[in-house]
Every structure is written in structure tokens, then in C-alpha cells.
A and B are shown apart, each in its own frame.
Chain A
Amino acid sequence: MKYARFLALLLLLALVVTARAADGAEESRAIVITAKRFEFVPSTITLKKGETVKLVVTSEDVTHGLFIRPLKIDTDLTPGETQQITVTPQAAGTFTAICHHFCGAGHGNMKLTVVVE
């Protein structure tokens, strides 16, 4: 019986630690980005060098892409799915993210400016 109580206590402790870790992860700043033909909303985001942020990205119409070579982001954005991308910029600068999944005639104009201060 004592052994079972010990196990239950251990399990509770593990849950608390996990919850705290999750809380810690949620402390990262989140930036919501929506992709739609033929723009990203917002069209500019500002990050800080060394700061870990979570990009919460969705597509509201067709499959788009999100590609930023300097931040090593290279993903498809499927409608109905939310992508959570954690990024910690290591260098300041202004970068252009593009949609690299062909989405129609205005595809080439679909850009997101990423400013890292």
C-alpha cells in the first residue's frame, strides 16, 4: 500500500514538473501569422536577436509555403492546420520570407518582412 502511495506521489510530482515546463515554454512570445492569397498578415514582424519566439502560422485558403533561409524556416502551410515554429534569431537584419509553394498568379508577390533588432 505504501509502495502504491509512493508511486502516486511520484506520478503527481512528474505531472507538476511537466506542467511547469509547459508553462515555461508558453512564456515565449507568440506571433500569429496568417497566409492567404497573395499576402501574409501581418506583412512585417519584428523579432529580437537572441529572443526565442513562437510563430503560429496558418493558411486560410490554399496550401502556401513559408521560406526564410537565414532563419532556417522551410515549411508548407496546409489549410486547416496550424504550424508552430520556434525560432531564435542569431543575427540582426531585415529578411524577406516568401511563399515558396506556388499558389496562383500573385504568388511571386507574397512576402513577409522579418526585422531582427
Chain B
Amino acid sequence: MKDPVNRRTFMKIAGASIGVGALFHVAPLLGASAGGRRIAALLGDKNGEAPTPFSFVQLSDTHVGFSGPPNPLGTQAFEKAVDLINGLRERPDLVLFTGDLTHDSENPGEHADRMRLFQKIASRLKVPLIKSVPGEHDAGLDGGKLFRDAFGETHYSFDHRGVHFIALDNVSLARPNVGPEQISWLKKDLARFPTTAPIVVFTHRPLFDLRPDWEWFTGDGDEVMNALAPYENVTVLYGHIHREHTHTEGHATHHAARSLIFAFPDPETGVPKKPIPFDPQKPFQNLGLRVVNEPGARAGSSPRIQDVELTLREYSGTVGIQQLLKEGVSL
């Protein structure tokens, strides 16, 4: 047996910014060797499904119902994002919305109308699966009641092509917390997976202290990440900060998507937390829609994917691989 830990095995998740949030390619590198295929099969046995290639899109912070100087165009950016996704050559399997689907309203009837308008626009997405978590503007005032009525549970998990997706709610308690009940649920949910399982967590607020004085944190985010710490391939997708950001800590890489209503500035520049002003000459600047078509592309062609921004860890060389090898896998 050659050195198995140096083999490029299992899965690589790459995110490419397409100007609508982020497009993620889940591309197993398993076909390259018999050993890789064997490990994939074993992982499939343990996960219930072997990883197979697919792509998905993250969208965030559409704030349907928002009206104000930072964006007088309402849902236009959201609607353009839907068109952009529908025009992709590679149709994504899944679109994840990471919170603040709607802007809050004091009037529950008006807020429910905003949720219906969100659903009407999102229903135009030509994708098999749409999943979402609430943001504080969706669920912070009523503990998530309206959201649950419209979209179902605020935390849940599901498997898709060998990847385990976990939706976490860190807004319904009104404070930036997940809460002990949900963390207990998370631990039980994770228990059936080997540490090699590919896991994608999607939530609204960052699960680490990005900028607590801008409320860019989750109070018990450490407990969530501790529960995920044994797992070797964890991707966390979140919104809330209305700008792109990538942060790697331990086995997890966290990615924030742009908003589809207005952008916040980079706090590291020392500016106050205020939306970047609307520019009528560039109405979608800094929103999800920064890239549409490459120059010279013919009208109506699929948008070009550019700016490959991240490549997450590969499985080779991990403790989890060693555990699988101990179970008698021969490479």
C-alpha cells in the first residue's frame, strides 16, 4: 500500500462568485483511483449516500419589503439574481437562503405579505430544492412564528448527494444565540456521521466573533463550533454582514455572501456601520449582482463564473481517513 494519506481523495468544495451570492461546486475527486472509489463507497455506507458532484447557490439578505435611501429599487436585485441563476449553464441542485428574506414590519399582516412576495419571487427559481433559515428581520420580533407558518421549521437538517446540510437558527431568540436546546439537537444530529462526512452548516449570523460591536457574532457560536470540531470538512455559510467574507478556523471555513438589498462597508476601514450609499449610476454595485457577463459576451448567454475564491480542505491526510483505513479499507 502506498502512502494513503497523500492521496487526493474524497471531495473538494469550491466556491465561485457569480455575483448572486456564491456558487459552490461539490466535486468529488474519487474517480482518480480505486482507493478513492473504495473510500467513497465506505463513506456512502456510513452516510447513507456516497458523494456525487453537484453545485448549489447561496443567496442572502434579500430584505423583501425594505424601502429606503440605501436601495430604492426594492426587489430588483433579488429578481435579477433569480434570472441569473436560471441562466446558468450548470443548473444548481439547490439554492440556500441565509436569512433576512424579508424586512421586518410592526404589522404582522404586512410582514406575512412580504413573506408571500419573497416566495413568489423565489418560486421562479428553476432549481429542484430551495432551503432557507431566518434572519433577525424575519423572526426576531415574534420568535419565528410567521417564518415557521410560511417556511416551516427554523432549524433542520437534510442530506443531498452525500453532503449533510444543517440549518441553524441564531435569530429567533431575539438575541444572537442558538440556544441550548438547538445545540443539543445538533449534537444528536451529528452523532450518526463519521468524522469524514462533508457537512455544510447554513445560518444567518456568523458563528464566530467577526465584529461583536457591529453585532456580527453569535453568543454561543463557540458551543456550536465545538460540537462540529471533530468533523474534518465543515463549511459554514452565513449572511447578515451584507458583504463577502471568508474565515478559516480549525476544520471549518466560514463564508458570508453579499446581500441583495444594500452593502455594509468593511469595518476594518474604521468607518461607521452604515449602508454604503446607493449609486443610481451603478444600482447593483456591491450587491450580489456584480458580475453578469464577461465583456463581449453575446446577449442572453449564460453568465461567466469568475473569481474562484476558495477551495476547502481535501480529505487526504485527515484523522477521519485514518479511522476508515483502520476499518480495513485497502487502498
Chain B residues contacting A107 (CB-CB under 8 Å) are 136, 140
Decide if A100 touches B175 in the complex (CB within 8 Å).
Answer: yes
Residues from 82 to 117 in A contacting B, C-beta threshold 8 Å: 95-98, 100-102, 104-105, 107-109
Decide if B175 touches A76 in the complex (CB within 8 Å).
Answer: yes
Known contacts A76-B175, A104-B106, A108-B273, A96 near B219 by CB under 8 Å: no
Decide if B103 touches A102 in the complex (CB within 8 Å).
Answer: no
B171 close to chain A: CB less than 8 A: yes
Chain A residues contacting B214 (CB-CB under 8 Å) are 98
Shortest Cβ distance from B239 into chain A, in angstroms? Answer: 14
B87 close to chain A: CB less than 8 A: no
- How many residues of chain A are within 8 Å of chain B by beta carbon? 18
A63 close to chain B: CB less than 8 A: yes
Residues from 169 to 190 in B contacting A, C-beta threshold 8 Å: 171, 174-176
Q: Which residue of B lies closest to A62 (CB)?
A: B141
Alpha-carbon distance between A101 and B171 when the two chains are bound, in angstroms: 10
B215 close to chain A: CB less than 8 A: yes
Shortest Cβ distance from B218 into chain A, in angstroms? Answer: 11
Chain A residues contacting B137 (CB-CB under 8 Å) are 105
Residues from 122 to 170 in B contacting A, C-beta threshold 8 Å: 136-137, 140-141
User: Size band of the B side of the interface?
Assistant: 10 to 19
B213 close to chain A: CB less than 8 A: yes
Q: Which DSSP category, helix, strand, loop or mixed, fits chain B's interface?
A: loop
The digit string for A54-71, where 1 denotes a CB below 8 A from any CB of B, is 000000000101010100
Alpha-carbon distance between A97 and B215 when the two chains are bound, in angstroms: 10
Chain A residues contacting B141 (CB-CB under 8 Å) are 102, 104
Shortest Cβ distance from B91 into chain A, in angstroms? Answer: 36
B212 close to chain A: CB less than 8 A: yes
Decide if A74 touches B174 in the complex (CB within 8 Å).
Answer: no
Alpha-carbon distance between A76 and B177 when the two chains are bound, in angstroms: 13
B104 close to chain A: CB less than 8 A: yes
Alpha-carbon distance between A102 and B176 when the two chains are bound, in angstroms: 9
Alpha-carbon distance between A107 and B141 when the two chains are bound, in angstroms: 11
Q: Which residue of A lies closest to B273 (CB)?
A: A108
Decide if A74 touches B219 in the complex (CB within 8 Å).
Answer: yes
Alpha-carbon distance between A5 and B160 when the two chains are bound, in angstroms: 81
Known contacts A69-B212, A96-B213, A105 near B103 by CB under 8 Å: yes
Shortest Cβ distance from B205 into chain A, in angstroms? Answer: 11
| A-B pairs with lowest CB-CB distance, top 5 | A102-B140, A96-B213, A102-B136, A69-B212, A102-B174
21 sampled A-B residue pairs with Cβ under 8 A? A63-B174, A67-B212, A69-B212, A69-B213, A74-B219, A95-B213, A96-B213, A98-B213, A98-B214, A98-B215, A100-B219, A101-B174, A102-B136, A102-B171, A102-B174, A104-B106, A105-B103, A105-B137, A107-B136, A107-B140, A108-B215
